[in-house]
Amino acid sequence: MDWSKASGDTKVCEECNLSLRDVVKAIALRDADSIDEVLSVTGVCSDTSHEDCHKNIQEILDIYVPIYAALKGGCGGG
């Protein structure tokens, strides 16, 4: 899955009803930068047997954490 092109409504985990929007909001608004922090902020997917869920969250973190870190750091050029 190319999470950078997915819609916000795309399910990260069907079992938990966790969407891409939920994960990105956790990153952007609560500075979540790990799987555990995303799960804590969203309050879902506490079942550690959801390996696909955790894999998907990590893929999303790898894309969006650096973006939000750069935005917060004021990487604007000029």
Give the number of domains in the chain.
Answer: 1
pTM here is 0.88
Any domain includes 78: no
Any idea what DSSP says for residue 9? T
Q: What is the pLDDT of residue 52?
A: 85
* Widest pairwise Cα distance in the chain: 47
Distance separating alpha carbons of residues 28 and 25, to the nearest angstrom: 5
**CATH number of the domain enclosing 16:** 1.10.10
In terms of residue numbers, what domain contains 19?
A: 11-72
pLDDT per residue as tens digits for the range 52-72? 889 999 999 999 999 999 988
Measure the CA–CA gap between 29 and 58, rounded to whole angstroms. 17
